[in-house]
């Protein structure tokens, strides 16, 4: 069975809106406050790094929050993923 990496992306609204990525991801462009456009841009950038969206929870859309689960195969031979800008 192929080993997979998983990633949780949470878009938080409120007094200090921000993206939270677990585990954190280096090689990302500066992330700004979450809204529809910046969320799509972040997910696209993660897609360029090999991440694929598995599930999304937008149940509290009025609060402009969301949780996204992504996965990708682990790099072979101990290599690492690099952002393709």
Model-level pTM? 0.75
In the block, tokens 């997910």 appear at 43
Close Cβ partners of 41 (under 8 Å, ≥ 6 residues apart): none
Using CA atoms of 60, 10, 48, 85 in order, give the dihedral in degrees to the nearest 10.
110
Mean pLDDT of 24-49: 85
The pLDDT value given to residue 15: 82
Please, what is the average pLDDT of the chain?
81
Q: Work out the average pLDDT over 45-56.
A: 93
- Segment 27-51 shows an average pLDDT of 86
* More confident of the two residues 69 and 25: 69
Give the per-residue pLDDT at 32: 80
């Amino acid at each position: 069975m192929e080993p997979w990496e998983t990633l949780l992306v949470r878009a938080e609204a409120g007094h200090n809106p921000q993206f939270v990525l677990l585990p954190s991801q280096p090689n990302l462009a500066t992330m700004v406050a979450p809204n529809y456009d910046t969320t799509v841009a972040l997910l696209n950038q993660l897609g360029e790094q090999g991440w694929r969206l598995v599930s999304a929870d937008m149940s509290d859309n009025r609060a402009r929050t969301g949780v996204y689960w992504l996965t990708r195969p682990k790099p072979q031979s101990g290599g690492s993923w690099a952002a393709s800008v």
